[in-house]
Amino acid sequence: MPCGGAVMTTVHDLNDSVLGKCDLFEEKQIGGDRFNFFKGCPNAKTCTLILRGGAEQFLDETERSLHDAIMIVRRTIKNDAVVAGGGAIEMELSKILRDYSRTIAGKEQLLIGAIAKALEVIPRQLCDNAGFDATNILNKLRQKHAQGNCWFGVDITKEDISDNFEACVWEPAIVKVNALTAATEATCLILSVDETIKNQKSEVPQMGGRGMGRPM
């Protein structure tokens, strides 16, 4: 228990060793429900977050965003390798792959160039979500990364670009590795499909309704 007390099945023979401690206990009315709040508990290792909103859709989105943030922090604690966020690592990988593709002759150059172009979708989507001019921001990012500034990404607060590593906009490296691995595996699976199987009978509209029979 967060208060440090022990669960008892009877109230007989109570002593100080089984009692917990908290500096403040209060009951509050939040919306239509009442909640108990404990403050100043010496053994507290968890907490409860209460989300409130005017619509169920808003609450679901808030819960999803909060869960993503908690999981990112958890991943960062378990894997301390981080990279700059805001599309910085995607732009750097895109530059490296684009430069590497020019050293290869053949169709492989087109494949690597397509992957480099696909990586720019991340900063472009960040710009679109924030209402920025994605073309202008991406051109600035390409210039910075071509000059060797590998940590420059989208700056949402300034509507510009910035060194996100110095701005403490970080993402766990393991998350990026897993995302690239999953995307590559999905692409290989799609490319390996050489034929689509269709059930022709399921495409025929079903004739329903009562009282309908064969024409005389």
| 92-115 confidence digits (pLDDT tens) | 999 999 999 999 988 899 999 999
Can you tell me the distance from the alpha carbon of 163 to that of 153, in angstroms, rounded to the nearest whole number? 6
pLDDT number for residue 37: 81
Sign of CA dihedral 130, 131, 134, 138: negative
pTM: 0.66
Closest CA to 79 of 173, 164, 165: 173
Q: What is the mean pLDDT of the chain?
A: 85
More confident residue, 73 or 66: 66
Whether the predicted pLDDT of 13 surpasses 90: no
158-162 — which CB contacts under 8 Å span 24+ positions? Answer: 159/130, 159/132, 161/137
| 16-68 confidence digits (pLDDT tens) | 878 888 888 888 888 778 888 888 787 777 778 888 888 888 889 999 999 98
pLDDT number for residue 102: 92
Q: Which two tokens stand for residue 156?
A: 């949402």
Neighbour tally for 29: CB within 10 Å: 8
Whether the predicted pLDDT of 136 surpasses 90: yes
- Angle 121-125-126 from CA coordinates, rounded to 5°: 120
Close Cβ partners of 109 (under 8 Å, ≥ 6 residues apart):
101, 102
pLDDT number for residue 165: 93
Give the domain ranges of the chain.
83-191
Q: Which two tokens stand for residue 101?
A: 């593709």
Helix axes 134-146, 121-130, angle to 10 degrees: 140
Can you tell me the distance from the alpha carbon of 100 to that of 109, in angstroms, rounded to the nearest whole number? 8
In CATH terms, is domain 83-191 a member of 1.10.560.10? yes
How distant, in Å, are the alpha carbons of 72, 135, 165 from that of 59? 20, 33, 31
Confidence of residue 216 (pLDDT cuts 50, 70, 90): very low
